[in-house]
C-alpha cells in the first residue's frame, strides 16, 4: 500500500523501469480536473443513494419478517435471493425491465398513469436506475443481519418496558434501535465500502453512460491505468478512493461512540 502511494507521486507507465518523481503533480492534475469532480459526485450520489435505503429497508423488512408465522421463511428466502445471484445476471435481467418501450418498469408506471421514463437512456434517470438495482440486490443481505440482531434483543427488556407502560413505538426507539446499533454500524460501513467499489452492475446496465453520467471513481482508475498507461495518475485516483473509504469509516467510528451500544 505504501508502494502504491509512492507510485502515485511518479509518472510511471507500469512498464518501463525508469520513471520520474513528479511529487504531488498527479494530485494537482486530479484536483484541477473538472472530470474528477464529476466522477466524485457520481460516486457520492451512488453511495448515499444505495446505503441509506438499503440499511433502512433491510431493517423494515426484518421487522416485518421477524415474527414466527407460517411462510416467513419463504419470504425471507425470496428477498435474500438477489444477493446470491451474480451481479452480472441480475443486471442483465434489469436491463430488460428498464427497456423504455416494452420493459416492465415503464409498463408499471404507465398502468398507474405515471409518465414513462427513459431509464438508462437518460442522464437524469440512469443513476437512479443503477441505484435501484443495487438496493434491490443488497436489501435481503441487510435484512438477514437485522433478523439475527433482532432475535438477540432480550425479551425480558420488552416485558419490563411493557410493565412500565411503554408504547410499541417507545419500545422500538429506546430498546430495539440502541441494541441493534452495532449491526447498523456494520451494515452502513460494509454497504458504503461496497458501493464505492461497485462496478459490475454499472458496466452491464449503462457502461458508465449515457454521456458519462454513471461513471464512478473506479471507472476513472481503470481508464488512467489501462487506457492511458498512466499508472501514477491511476494510483493517485486509487489513493483518493482509499482515503475516502477510510475517512468514511473513521467518521462512522467517531459518530458511533455516541449512539452504538454494545451489550
Instruction: Write down the residue that cell numbers 432475535 correspond to.
Output: 151
Q: Which of 43, 95, 106, 176 binds other proteins (CB under 8 A)?
A: 95
Q: Which residues of 207-217 are buried (b: 16+ CB within 10 A; e: fewer)?
A: ebebeebbbbb
Cell representation of residue 28:
494537482
Per-residue string for binding with other proteins, 14-33, x by CB under 8 A? xxx------------x---x
Tell me the closest approach of the beta carbon of residue 164 to other proteins, in angstroms: 32
* Complex with other proteins: residue 100 or 157, whichever CB lies closer: 100
* Complex with other proteins: residue 32 or 165, whichever CB lies closer: 32
> Of the listed pieces 39-47, 64-72, 164-172, 227-235, which binds other proteins according to CB under 8 A?
227-235
CA 70 to chain centre: 32
Q: Which of 228, 251, 255, 259 binds other proteins (CB under 8 A)?
A: 228
From CA 186, how far away is CA 78, in angstroms rounded? 23
Q: Collapsing DSSP states into helix, strand and coil, what is residue 235?
A: helix
* Complex with other proteins: residue 99 or 177, whichever CB lies closer: 99
Is 13 a binder of other proteins (CB under 8 A)? yes
Count the Cβ atoms, other than its own, within 10 Å of residue 237.
26
Is 255 a binder of other proteins (CB under 8 A)? no
Q: How many residues bind other proteins (CB under 8 A)?
A: 46
* Backbone φ, ψ for residue 10 (5° rounding): -120, 175
Tell me the closest approach of the beta carbon of residue 195 to other proteins, in angstroms: 13
* Beta carbons of 200 and 206 less than 8 angstroms apart: no
Partners of 10 in the β-ladder? 21
Residue list 183-212, contact with other proteins (CB under 8 A):
185-186, 189-190, 193, 204-207, 209-212
Cell representation of residue 103:
420493459
For the chain, the farthest-separated pair of C-alpha atoms sits apart, in whole angstroms, at 75
Cell representation of residue 70:
407460517
Is 128 a binder of other proteins (CB under 8 A)? no
Q: Which of 20, 21, 23, 35 binds other proteins (CB under 8 A)?
A: 35
Is 253 a binder of other proteins (CB under 8 A)? yes
From CA 118, how far away is CA 130, in angstroms rounded? 13
Is 4 a binder of other proteins (CB under 8 A)? yes
* Complex with other proteins: residue 88 or 160, whichever CB lies closer: 88
CA 109 vs CA 38, 101, 113, 131, 163: distances in Å = 30, 12, 6, 18, 47
Is 86 a binder of other proteins (CB under 8 A)? no
> Which chain residues interact with other proteins by CB under 8 A?
1, 3-4, 13-16, 29, 33-35, 88, 91-92, 95, 118, 120-123, 185-186, 189-190, 193, 204-207, 209-212, 223, 226-230, 235, 238, 242, 245-246, 249, 253
Amino acid at each position: 500500500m505504501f508502494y502504491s502511494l509512492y507510485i502515485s507521486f511518479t509518472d510511471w507507465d507500469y512498464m518501463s523501469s525508469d520513471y520520474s518523481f513528479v511529487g504531488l503533480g498527479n494530485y494537482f492534475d486530479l484536483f484541477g480536473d473538472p472530470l474528477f469532480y464529476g466522477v466524485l459526485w457520481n460516486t457520492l450520489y451512488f453511495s448515499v443513494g444505495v446505503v441509506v435505503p438499503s440499511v433502512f429497508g433491510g431493517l423494515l423488512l426484518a421487522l416485518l419478517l421477524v415474527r414466527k408465522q407460517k411462510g416467513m421463511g419463504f419470504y425471507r428466502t425470496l428477498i435474500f435471493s438477489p444477493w446470491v445471484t451474480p451481479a452480472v445476471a441480475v443486471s442483465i435481467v434489469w436491463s430488460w425491465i428498464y427497456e423504455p418501450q416494452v420493459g416492465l418498469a415503464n409498463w408499471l408506471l404507465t398502468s398507474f398513469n405515471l409518465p414513462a421514463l427513459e431509464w438508462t437512456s437518460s442522464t437524469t434517470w440512469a443513476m437512479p436506475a443503477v441505484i435501484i438495482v443495487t438496493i434491490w440486490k443488497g436489501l435481503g443481505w441487510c435484512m438477514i443481519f437485522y433478523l439475527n440482531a433482532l432475535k438477540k434483543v432480550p425479551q425480558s427488556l420488552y416485558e419490563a418496558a411493557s410493565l412500565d407502560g411503554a408504547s410499541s413505538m417507545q419500545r422500538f426507539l429506546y430498546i430495539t434501535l440502541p441494541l441493534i446499533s452495532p449491526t447498523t454500524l456494520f451494515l452502513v460501513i460494509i454497504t458504503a465500502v461496497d458501493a464505492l467499489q461497485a462496478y459490475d452492475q454499472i458496466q452491464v446496465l449503462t457502461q458508465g453512460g449515457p454521456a458519462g453520467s454513471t461513471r464512478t471513481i473506479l471507472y476513472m482508475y481503470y481508464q488512467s491505468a489501462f487506457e492511458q498507461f498512466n499508472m501514477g495518475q491511476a494510483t493517485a485516483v486509487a489513493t483518493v478512493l482509499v482515503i475516502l473509504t477510510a475517512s468514511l469509516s473513521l467518521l462512522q467510528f467517531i459518530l458511533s461512540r455516541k449512539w452504538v451500544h454494545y451489550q
